[in-house]
Structure 1
Amino acid sequence: MTEIAIPRPTQGDVVQLILEDHRFFEALLRDLRDVTADRDAARAALSAVLIAHGEAEEEKVYPQLRSKDAIGEHEAEHGEEEHAEGNQALLHLLECKGTDTQKFDDAVEDLATALNHHIGEEEQTILNPARTEVGEQVRQDLGSAWAARRSELLDQDCGSIAYVEKVVARAEKEGKLPDDES
């Protein structure tokens, strides 16, 4: 397995940094669908960056945007619920033994569906208000805080199946996942 380099920004406008990660997720999803790509490497990279990205957003970005009245409680909670659903789909993908099975392909599509929905919604209901309701300096400060937390999480091997299991279990305990999922 060749390791895919995950970008590690240290500063920038938080909106731009999050958008760059969203485009990186989409590229990794394309690799996961491509039988000629190193699907194991794409899965490992997506797992790490997806968990680090979402956890850093929930800890550093959403609370600040709420305190600045850029987003409401509903938008923050909905974003967290969608992260939980994506993380659960990611866990199902990580649980696949091989990358050449129908189960793997189905898990990729389930994750892609959850992720694409969340990306579209977050860009409209969270990032747009962040662009218009929050000053440039706040976005720069948030970018630095988000990037630092994201890097910390990447250093903690947050993409490992054990770490993802903990994140999903916490979301279940906090009631962020629908009850109809197994």
Structure 2
Amino acid sequence: MTSGIDLGRPESGDIIDLITDDHRRFEHLLAQLRLGTADRDAVRRAFANVLIAHGEAEEDLVYPVLRQQAGDVDAHDIEHGKEEHAEGNEALLAVLELKGTDTQAFTDAVEELSNLVAHHIAEEELSILEPARTEVSNKVRWDLGEKWSRRRNELIDQDCGSAENVRRIVEAAKREGVLEDA
């Protein structure tokens, strides 16, 4: 499915560390897409699976608990995180729908995706994860880490980053008003 590209297969850990590990993985895969140092088609498929699995598991399992348990993480931070996931998913879809990987259109689409992901990572780590590090107990963070890992890995096994699934996720975000229709 992803030609030996490391998608990470965590089974447990502190949720904050697991999420930030994935953030570093995103940055590495995006660098490979930008630089063309690996099979771009394989990297984009791998990136799509990790990004979608990460975000879906995070929104379903992590955000609700952090909102409840971390006093400095408010509803606005969580909603903003979901909006940024939707924007990233929309940019990912644009990358997935391109036929070739050696065109200016591909380069431009990857750059747009990279910028959105970098912005989201910075905000999420600062406004959601850092407060959670001190305000959420180790037990809760490790319990979340196990649940999130299991769900993330299940989604990757289901090829959640397929263009069809990403299109479905983007359309749902538009219907729910999380993304504006272009």
TM-score (norm 2): 0.95
Corresponding residue number in structure 2 for 1:173: 175
SS of match in other structure, 1:52:
helix
Corresponding residue number in structure 1 for 2:38: 37
Corresponding residue number in structure 1 for 2:67: 66
SS of match in other structure, 2:5:
coil
Alpha-carbon shift at residue 152 of structure 1 (Å)? 1.3
Cα distance between partner residues in 1 of 2:25 and 2:161: 15
Instruction: Report the AA paired with residue 136 of structure 2.
Output: V
1:141 aligns with 2:181: no
Corresponding residue number in structure 2 for 1:115: 117
CA, structure 1 residues 44+138, in 2 after alignment: closer, same or farther (shift >3 Å)?
A: same
CA contact 1:33–1:108 (8 Å) conserved in 2: yes
Structure 2 unaligned segments of length 5 or more: list them: none
RMSD: 1.1
Corresponding residue number in structure 2 for 1:75: 77
CA contact 1:84–1:171 (8 Å) conserved in 2: yes
TM-score (norm 1): 0.95
Instruction: Report the AA paired with residue 148 of structure 1.
Output: R
Superposed, which structure 2 residues align to 1:89-108 within 5 Å? 89-108=91-110
1:125 aligns with 2:107: no
Corresponding residue number in structure 1 for 2:86: 84
Cα distance between partner residues in 1 of 2:146 and 2:3: 29
Structure 1 unaligned segments of length 5 or more: list them: none
Q: Which runs of 4+ in 1 moved over 2 A?
A: none
Alpha-carbon shift at residue 177 of structure 1 (Å)? 1.2
CA contact 1:2–1:38 (8 Å) conserved in 2: no
CA contact 2:70–2:131 (8 Å) conserved in 1: no
